[in-house]
């Protein structure tokens, strides 16, 4: 078992490393769910290209040294499988009231509802992003980018399978019902929307896609990290393997934005433009001006902050106490992992002023995870700003203040500028499009979204990548569209 778990059994209809062929009941439940999933994929998955051959990676092992194989695959033939990271021997619960006790291999009865809810919320985000991105194939700036989009999409599909496996194996009938519901909700649907706000927003263009994979998939990373600490071992192992795939999604976002910024700077330089805020002049070159990139960034970052929930939350405290959801890098933190007497600083609105308040660390766990997220986000900004300064421009992309453009938590009822200055509604309404994209900004970006499908060719608003996928050369045919 311990040896085999590294490699994936592809002999069953559903590839897996959890010995499904010996687990008849769960195999039957998953096989029963499979047709609904395929229907969902054909209705809500990428529009078009279903018969194209796409150069995709498929997980064939969970060995971190080599877990993926690259080959041409038609997306509906992708082998969506159930893959868990290897079980750690004698793993103990690393935090909360059960600190030091053996990790659970079955769901503890008292935490069943809480666990199911967390798994459903995570599961709901996976198909949601596929739905949000389904139209983008039509306007891909290159075959390379088209392939990356589809790679992200099939893997989000696999992440849905990962959560459905947990529901069907460990939660009996209500788990199966939740699994069906995950296929029923639709991103942006008025009657039956996805569970979280950012997953009901449109992803209208490729800059949004890159921002989404950079900022929103990174929220996913933080959530998966905290669930990977879970005392419920199957959840921990599932999330650990998902994180290896997730890294590529954020890579797509980070390098995508880098390439857009790069191209804009090159075009401005070539045209002798010295002021990067001269939007009209820059747009006339057919590239996306830096102020518009900043607005998109403001939008996606603030939507993603909302995904962390309220800064002060008893749910978060309960999940931690229960040993269900830990902190980012919990096992590396040097403290008692119980947080009984600790405090954590939280930005709150006190008498109309943004103020730091020390809160019990237990109830401030969402805030802490969000702070970790913000630190993680900064890395990309350093890279993008390096591109801008190397090109000789003084412009700097920045993360907006956490009070800016929020729909959840302490600042949901106020307005603030990206610098964190509180303003009234009238000022917000008058000035909001200095900070978040306007319809005209969206229309301009949309006007650039013309598909480029020639081998090795790229749309004029984005630079080619430095290296190809799996070290393929620049003229590699990542998607064979005519098949
Ligand atoms: Fe995912
Ligand atoms: Fe992702």
Position 163 pLDDT exceeds 80: yes
In the chain, % of residues over pLDDT 70 = 99
pLDDT digits (tens, 9 = 90+) for 348-387: 999 999 999 999 999 999 999 999 999 999 999 999 999 9
125 alpha carbon – ligand 2 mean position (Å): 9
Contact 325, 227 (CB under 8 A): yes
128 alpha carbon – ligand 1 mean position (Å): 10
Q: What is the mean pLDDT of residues 236-240?
A: 97
Q: What is the mean pLDDT of residues 115-135?
A: 98
Q: Give the pLDDT confidence score for residue 5 in this predicted structure.
A: 62
pLDDT digits (tens, 9 = 90+) for 302-321: 999 999 999 999 999 999 99
Name the strand (E) or helix (H) holding 141: none
- pLDDT band with cut points at 50, 70 and 90 for residue 286: very high
Ligand approaching nearest to the C-alpha of 162: 1
- pLDDT band with cut points at 50, 70 and 90 for residue 262: very high
Contact 457, 465 (CB under 8 A): no
90 alpha carbon – ligand 2 mean position (Å): 30
Range with lowest mean pLDDT among 3-17, 219-233, 347-361 = 3-17
Q: Give the pLDDT confidence score for residue 483 in this predicted structure.
A: 60
Position 165 pLDDT exceeds 80: yes
Mean pLDDT of the chain: 96
Ligand approaching nearest to the C-alpha of 248: 2
Ligand approaching nearest to the C-alpha of 159: 1
Q: What is the mean pLDDT of residues 172-196?
A: 97
Query: How many CA atoms are closer than 13 Å to the CA of 326, on its beta-carbon side?
Result: 29
Q: What is the mean pLDDT of residues 263-286?
A: 98
Position 4 pLDDT exceeds 70: no
Tallying the residues shown for the chain, one arrives at 483
75 alpha carbon – ligand 2 mean position (Å): 17
Position 3 pLDDT exceeds 50: no
Burial of 325 (0-12, 13-18, 19+ CB in 10 A): buried
pLDDT digits (tens, 9 = 90+) for 423-458: 999 999 999 999 999 999 999 999 999 999 999 999
Range with lowest mean pLDDT among 3-17, 65-79, 170-184, 195-209 = 3-17
pLDDT digits (tens, 9 = 90+) for 27-65: 999 999 999 999 999 999 999 999 999 999 998 888 877
Ligand approaching nearest to the C-alpha of 152: 2
204 alpha carbon – ligand 1 mean position (Å): 20
> How many Cβ atoms from other residues are within 10 Å of residue 166's Cβ?
25
pLDDT digits (tens, 9 = 90+) for 79-112: 999 999 999 999 999 999 999 999 999 999 999 9
In degrees, to the nearest 5, what angle opens at C-alpha 133 toward C-alphas 258 and 206?
Answer: 30
Ligand approaching nearest to the C-alpha of 160: 1
349 alpha carbon – ligand 1 mean position (Å): 33
Distance CA 68, CA 310 (A): 37
Q: Give the pLDDT confidence score for residue 1 in this predicted structure.
A: 40
Q: Give the pLDDT confidence score for residue 367 in this predicted structure.
A: 97
């Amino acid at each position: 078992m311990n040896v085999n778990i590294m490699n994936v059994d592809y002999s069953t209809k559903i590839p897996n490393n959890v010995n499904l062929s010996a687990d008849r009941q769960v195999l039957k439940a998953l096989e029963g769910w499979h047709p609904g999933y395929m229907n969902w994929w054909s209705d809500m998955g990428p529009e078009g290209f279903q018969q194209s051959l796409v150069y995709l990676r498929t997980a064939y092992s969970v060995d971190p040294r080599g877990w993926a194989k690259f080959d041409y695959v038609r997306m509906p033939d992708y082998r969506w499988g159930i893959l868990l990271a290897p079980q750690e021997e004698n793993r103990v619960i690393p935090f909360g009231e059960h600190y030091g006790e053996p990790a659970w291999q079955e769901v503890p009865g008292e935490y069943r509802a809480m666990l199911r809810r967390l798994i459903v919320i995570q599961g709901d985000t996976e198909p949601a992003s596929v739905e949000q991105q389904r139209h983008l194939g039509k306007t891909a700036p290159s075959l390379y980018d088209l392939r990356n989009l589809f790679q992200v999409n099939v893997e989000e599909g696999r992440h849905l399978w990962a959560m459905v496996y947990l529901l069907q194996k460990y939660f009996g009938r209500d788990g199966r019902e939740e699994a069906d519901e995950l296929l029923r909700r639709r991103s942006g649907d008025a009657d039956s929307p996805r569970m979280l706000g950012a997953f009901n927003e449109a992803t209208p263009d490729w800059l949004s896609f890159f921002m989404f994979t950079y900022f929103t998939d990174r929220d996913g990373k933080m959530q998966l990290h905290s669930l990977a600490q879970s005392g419920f071992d199957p959840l921990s192992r599932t999330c650990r393997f998902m994180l290896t795939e997730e890294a590529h999604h954020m890579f797509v976002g980070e390098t995508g934005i880098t390439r857009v910024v790069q191209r804009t700077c090159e075009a401005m330089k070539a045209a002798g433009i010295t002021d990067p805020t001269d939007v009209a002049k820059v747009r006339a070159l057919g590239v996306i001006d830096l102020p518009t990139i900043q607005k998109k960034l403001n939008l996606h970052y603030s939507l993603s902050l909302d995904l962390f929930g309220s800064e002060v939350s008893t749910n978060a405290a309960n999940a931690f106490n229960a040993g269900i959801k830990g902190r980012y890098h919990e096992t590396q933190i040097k403290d008692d992992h119980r947080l009984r007497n600790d405090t954590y600083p939280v930005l709150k609105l006190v008498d109309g002023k943004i103020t730091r308040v020390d809160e019990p660390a237990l109830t401030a766990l969402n805030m802490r995870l969000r702070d970790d997220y913000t630190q993680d986000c900064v890395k990309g900004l350093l890279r993008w700003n390096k591109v801008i300064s190397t090109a000789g421009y003084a412009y700097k992309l920045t993360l907006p203040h956490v009070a800016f453009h929020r729909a959840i938590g302490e600042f949901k009822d106020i307005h603030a500028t990206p610098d964190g200055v509180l303003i009234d509604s009238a000022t917000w309404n008058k000035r909001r499009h200095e900070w978040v994209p306007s319809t005209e900004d969206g229309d301009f970006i949309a006007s650039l979204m013309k598909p480029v499908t020639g081998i090795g060719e790229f749309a004029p608003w984005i630079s080619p990548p430095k290296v190809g996928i799996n070290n393929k050369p620049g003229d590699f045919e990542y998607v064979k569209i005519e098949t």
